[in-house]
Amino acid sequence: MCGIVAYTGKRNAAPILIDGLRALEYRGYDSAGIFLSGNLEAKLPSKLVKAVGPVNNLASKITDAYSGTAGISHTRWATHGVPSKANAHPHSDESGKVWIVHNGIIENYKELKQALQTKGYKFASETDSEVVAHLIVDKLKRLKIEQAINQTLKELRGTYGLAIMYDKEPEKIFAARMGSPLVIGLGDGENFIASDPTPILRHTKNVIYMNDGEMAIITPDSHTIFNLDNVQVNREPDQIEWSVEEVQKGGYDHFMMKEMMEAPEVVKNTLRGRLLVEDGMAKLGGLESVKDRLRQIKRIIIVGCGTAYYSGLVGEYMLEEYAGIPVEVEVGSEFRYRKPVIDEGTAILAISQSGETADTLEAIREGKRKGALTIGIVNTVGSTIARDTDAGVYNHAGPEIGVASTKAFISQLTALALFTLYMGRQRQMSLVTGKKIAEELLDLPEKIKKILDSGNLANIKKIAEKYNKFEDFLYLGRKYNYAIAFEGALKLKEISYVHAEGCGAGEMKHGPIAMIDENFPTVAVALRDSVYEKMISNIQEIKARRGPVLAIGTEGDEELAKLADDVFYVPKTLEMLSPILSVIPLQFFAYYFAVLRGLNVDKPRNLAKSVTVE
Q: What is the pLDDT of residues 461-485, one digit of tens each?
A: 999 999 999 999 999 999 999 999 9
- According to the model, what pLDDT value does residue 26 have? 62
What is the spatial distance between Cα 608 and Cα 557, in angstroms, rounded to a whole number?
40
Q: How many C-beta atoms lie closer than 10 Å to residue 343's C-beta?
A: 10
Mean pLDDT calculated for residue range 229-246:
81
Q: What is the pLDDT of residues 424-467, one digit of tens each?
A: 999 989 999 999 999 999 999 999 999 999 899 999 999 999 99
- According to the model, what pLDDT value does residue 28 have? 54
Q: Which of 201, 200, 276 is nearest to 242 (CA)?
A: 201
What is the spatial distance between Cα 191 and Cα 203, in angstroms, rounded to a whole number?
9
What is the spatial distance between Cα 346 and Cα 294, in angstroms, rounded to a whole number?
9
- According to the model, what pLDDT value does residue 295 have? 92
What is the spatial distance between Cα 472 and Cα 458, in angstroms, rounded to a whole number?
23
Given a contact cutoff of 8 angstroms between Cβ atoms, the answer to whether 218 and 246 are in contact is no
Going 16 to 18 to 19 to 22, the CA torsion angle's sign is positive
Q: How many C-beta atoms lie closer than 10 Å to residue 213's C-beta?
A: 15
As annotated, the residues of the chain forming the CATH 3.40.50.10490 domain(s) are 453-604
pLDDT at 609 exceeding the cut of 60? no
**Averaged pLDDT score across all residues of the chain:** 90
Q: Across-strand partners of 524?
A: 476, 551
pLDDT at 41 exceeding the cut of 60? no
Mean pLDDT calculated for residue range 21-32:
76
**Residue 605's pLDDT band (boundaries 50, 70, 90)?**
confident
What is the spatial distance between Cα 244 and Cα 129, in angstroms, rounded to a whole number?
32
453-604: CATH, from 3.80.30.20, 1.10.3720.10, 3.40.50.300, 3.40.50.10490: 3.40.50.10490
- According to the model, what pLDDT value does residue 242 have? 64
Mean pLDDT calculated for residue range 16-27:
83
- According to the model, what pLDDT value does residue 78 have? 67
- According to the model, what pLDDT value does residue 402 have? 84
pLDDT at 81 exceeding the cut of 60? yes
Query: Which residue type does 199 have?
Result: P
> Within a 13 Å sphere around the CA of 613, how many CA atoms are in the beta-carbon half?
22
- According to the model, what pLDDT value does residue 611 have? 54
Q: What is the pLDDT of residues 204-234, one digit of tens each?
A: 999 999 988 999 999 999 999 999 999 999 9
As annotated, the residues of the chain forming the CATH 3.60.20.10 domain(s) are 2-240
Query: Which residue type does 408 have?
Result: A
Mean pLDDT calculated for residue range 128-144:
94
Mean pLDDT calculated for residue range 375-401:
87
Show which residues are catalytic: 2, 609
Which CATH architecture group holds 2-240?
A: 4-Layer Sandwich (3.60)
Q: How far is CA 601 from the centre of its chain?
A: 16
Higher pLDDT, 341 or 591: 591
pLDDT at 64 exceeding the cut of 80? no
Q: What is the pLDDT of residues 264-298, one digit of tens each?
A: 999 999 999 999 999 999 999 999 999 999 999 99
pLDDT at 246 exceeding the cut of 70? no
> Helix, strand or coil for residue 328?
strand
- According to the model, what pLDDT value does residue 449 have? 96
Q: Whole-model pTM?
A: 0.77
Residue 454 burial by Cβ neighbours in a 10 Å radius (0-12, 13-18, 19+): exposed
- According to the model, what pLDDT value does residue 428 have? 87
Q: What is the pLDDT of residues 293-337, one digit of tens each?
A: 999 999 999 999 999 999 999 999 999 999 999 999 999 888 878
Given a contact cutoff of 8 angstroms between Cβ atoms, the answer to whether 596 and 466 are in contact is no
Q: Which of 72, 145, 155 is nearest to 109 (CA)?
A: 155
pLDDT at 411 exceeding the cut of 90? yes
pLDDT at 543 exceeding the cut of 80? yes
